[in-house]
Structure 1
Amino acid sequence: MSNQHSAAEEQGQRHKHEGPRKHIVAFIFSILLTIIAFAMVAAGEINTTFIYIFLVFMALLQVFIQMSFWMHMKDRGHIFPIVGILMGVFVVFTIVIMAEYWAWW
């Protein structure tokens, strides 16, 4: 078994371990985003339209952090899951837009 590992290491195919530092930073950043979003809603004196836009922005930022650090979508070799997720997002947005047009007519 050591021959297989040494052959893979020589060819540069060994998986590089990032360590816990990036995961801890991503976790703290996720917690901070959640606290900021909760504080914005709890304040209550801010324009509701601004809060909705801000919450959507915070949610998209949270999704980016979760997918890049926890699901390792930033690594090489994840093109098919990324394409699948993007296609799913496209289908969901299309369904929501079509449902809104259907309800308005």
Structure 2
Amino acid sequence: MASNHSSSEEVKRHRVEGPQKHIVAFVLSLALTIIAFAAVAAGDINTTFTYIILVAMAIIQVFVQLAFWMHMKDRGHLFPIIAIVAGVFVVFTAVITAVYWVWW
């Protein structure tokens, strides 16, 4: 009886995850890309503000990609999340070390 219950939950979970979420994620990714492109193409916007928009759109885009396309929002993805966080830590450490080394 218990195994039947878990399989029905699994079927419900797969039924809920349909193309609607992928379409929403795709449209959101397109919108973020268009916003970033429009900020650069405008040309009249302050350069610093353009950089801020580009970085913000890139960060949001990373989270959208990880959540919807890489399915990091689902259960059972703790190790990949830990690996990504460790990689980001290593990259930031390397960049900070390189900048410090050059400016020394």
Q: TM-score, with normalisation over the residues of structure 2?
A: 0.88
Question: 2:54 & 2:70 partners in 1: Cα distance?
Answer: 22
Residue 19 (structure 1) shift: 0.4
Q: Which has more helix, going by share of residues?
A: 2
Match of 1:43 in 2: 42
Structure 1 counterpart of 2:59, which letter?
L
Instruction: Find the partner of 1:14 among 5, 10, 17.
Output: 10
Matches within 5 A, 1:77-88: 77-88=76-87
Gaps of 5+ in 2: none
- The Cα RMSD (Å) is 1.7
Cα distance in structure 2, aligned partners of 1:14 and 1:94 = 41
Percent identity between matched residues is 66
What one-letter code is carried by the residue in structure 1 that aligns with 2:24?
V
User: What is the rounded CA distance, in whole Å, between the counterparts of 2:32 and 2:56 in structure 1?
Assistant: 10
Amino acid at match of 1:14: E
Task: Measure the CA separation in 2 of the matches of 1:79 and 1:9.
Answer: 27
Work out the number of aligned pairs and report it: 100
For 1:8 and 1:85, locate their aligned partners in 2 and report how far apart those are by CA, in whole Å: 34
Q: Deviations over 1:22-76 (max 9, x none)?
A: 1000100100110110000011111111111211110000000000000000001
What is the letter of the counterpart of residue 10 of structure 1? H
Partner residue in 2 for 1:26? 25
- Give the gaps of 5 or more residues in structure 1: 1-5
| TM-score in terms of structure 1 length | 0.87
Ranges of 4+ aligned residues in structure 1 off by more than 2 Å: 6-15
Q: Which amino acid aligns with 2:73?
A: K
